[in-house]
Structure 1
Amino acid sequence: MSDTEKGFTAPTLLVQDFRQTMGGKLTDLFFLQNDNGVLAAITNYGARLVGLWVPDKNGDLRDVVIGFGQVQGFAEGEDTYFGATVGRYANRIAHGKFELNGQEYTLATNNGPNHLHGGDTGFSRVVWEAEQPDAQTLTLTYTSAHLEEGYPGELKVTVRYTLTNQDELKIDYTATTDRPTVVNLTNHAYFNLNGEGSGAILNHKLQINADKYNPVDSSLIPTGTESVAGTPFDFREATTIGARIKDQNQQLKFGQGYDHNYVLNGGKGEDLKKAATVVGNESGIVMEVFTQEPGLQFYSGNFMDGSHTLKSGAKDDFRTAFCLETQHFPDSPNQPAFPSTVLKPGQTYNTTTVHKFSAK
């Protein structure tokens, strides 16, 4: 990857650093580029977004997604989920158990007492089949076997990344199953709109279109639904991420910051709705998130600890990135009041999320 026309030097990503054989399949690196020069890098290892270069207020490209410069970084050690497609069930399932049609299923407890992001391997540590029909589209497919990670049903999953000429990164998810199962897919990109390695994200301004959120217990399992009014979780008006993050609030203590699902206004529907808007305080980069999903997990990078070196050479220091994961609610299989995540044979799981970029 060479310097861009506008003078910003992108970190060098070499395709050969992403080509390895894992589980008998070849990992690789793919680039998408639109007519405006916006660039996305994606690997089929975990169907991960590796980097995303968008123009700032001066027209210079900045990489707003953190990630590694080689596939081994994603494969080694505990999964950071940087940029990953997570499933079969994104977020947590209490005690790694759920019941479906009178039968109990047992999953890995890989996050304290709970199941997180699909288990020990999930979708983030497998090699997906990749097809790139044009310069702006990448289609990734994976078939999850019956009882893989404990989930019932053979699940055939497709994730399609599209980089539009409106400077949108569009992610379309589809899935079908041969037995009743539960499905909740998302992308776990970590964003810093000032650019990877630019420091903490606490001065980013965030607005979330949600009147309610899901408070959690000490293991981060939802305990119900409550209003955001009068709490540090009220982002209905644009507010800096760091404005209230140190408030004496039990929910912030449980999450060690923000790590909660927001109940988006409008619920789940066929139409895309705006879930959130974020503005980078230094770059002027604006990211709008649109989704068909009913929920949005806002995570403020509370467990980032500087133990990884990113593609820019910077460390993943404390709160130097945030996540906005469009999703169904955590622990829905065990909470009938939440929107259902059950997928049955003959049905198609189909959902779209769009990240739209501009600058001001």
Structure 2
Amino acid sequence: MDFYRQLADTHDWQPVAATPMLRAGDRHPVLAEIRQRLVLLGDLPYLTPSRDPVYFDDELRLALEHFQQRHGLKPDGIWGPRSRAALNVPPRTRYRQLWLNRDRQLQFRRQLAADGYYVQVNIPAYEMRYFEAGQEVLRMRAIVGKLKAKTPLVASRIRTLELNPDWNVPSGITYRDILPALEQNPDYLQEHSLELVQGYGPGMRRLPFSELDFERLYRGERPQQRFWQAPGPQNPLGLMKFNFPNDYLVYMHGTPNAYLFDKPVRNFSSGCIRIEYPEELARRLLGPAGISETGTWRFEDIIASGENRVLSLPQPVAVYTTYWTAWLDDERTLQFREDIYGLDRQDLAAVPDSDRP
């Protein structure tokens, strides 16, 4: 943190000029400026001055890959718009980012479960981590809420695991996403395996789409109409769902769209958290209690049967969603992430000018 404060006191750089994509072997005048900034930030070791500072050599490529990795970018060593945007952030902004996140992390540690067993989803990092006795034992990529449906900050406990979940489409998703799509494509419901239903549980009744009544869709007297999707491999919740009580009705679940995890920016959901390998987390949370008499995992047997079942965890496990845009990783490398929901700007604006760094 002191490093960025000192850098802010001595350097206030201007934006690097926009260029075409640049890669190893290219030559461009802007590369000299990029090289200088990577030296100042510690990504490029300053041993001897480059004999050809405008040439994109392997030394610069490795330094750019390191910079990209610690800013949550695809570490491909190619200079492009996202790398340029990250490198253009002034040192003063980075220092304030560190200052804000130091307080967030202190508050997080104060609320941690005493036994050290917990799940943490860091929203700007698009990442889920699971800890046992304070030690990380599992990490995977996550997908979080888009700007119009932000994943909330929650502290709760995972209590149950639902297998082969069905999807009761929330009214917000229906009116924000589905109805506009239906106006453009009359076959949208069929193409996405959505059904029109009324009622819940054993009393739920499927209705033909011809009976769709917008005056009764999530409104009016009961029984109201709503959209629903049956369990199955194409269900948006995947094959398992982790439930934890919260005021926002969000949960953690799998997804049939595994290709989205390969994208560096992963805010695609409607507020819930999709995780890359839910079965690995399920094994950890269930422990020996999750193994059947025949030595198989109970959840795997139930999934294979296609039956919708809810299993209680042997012990509830704490879960936290956090908003850290700067932190030290396990290798003591400083990581930065984009302020995707604008909370850094919001929290900094709430600080009196006299107290702002």
Same fold (TM over 0.5): no
Q: Which has the higher contact order (CA 8 A, sep 6+)?
A: 2
Which protein is richer in strand relative to its size? Answer: 1
Provide TM-score, normalisation by structure 2: 0.26
Which protein is richer in helix relative to its size? Answer: 2
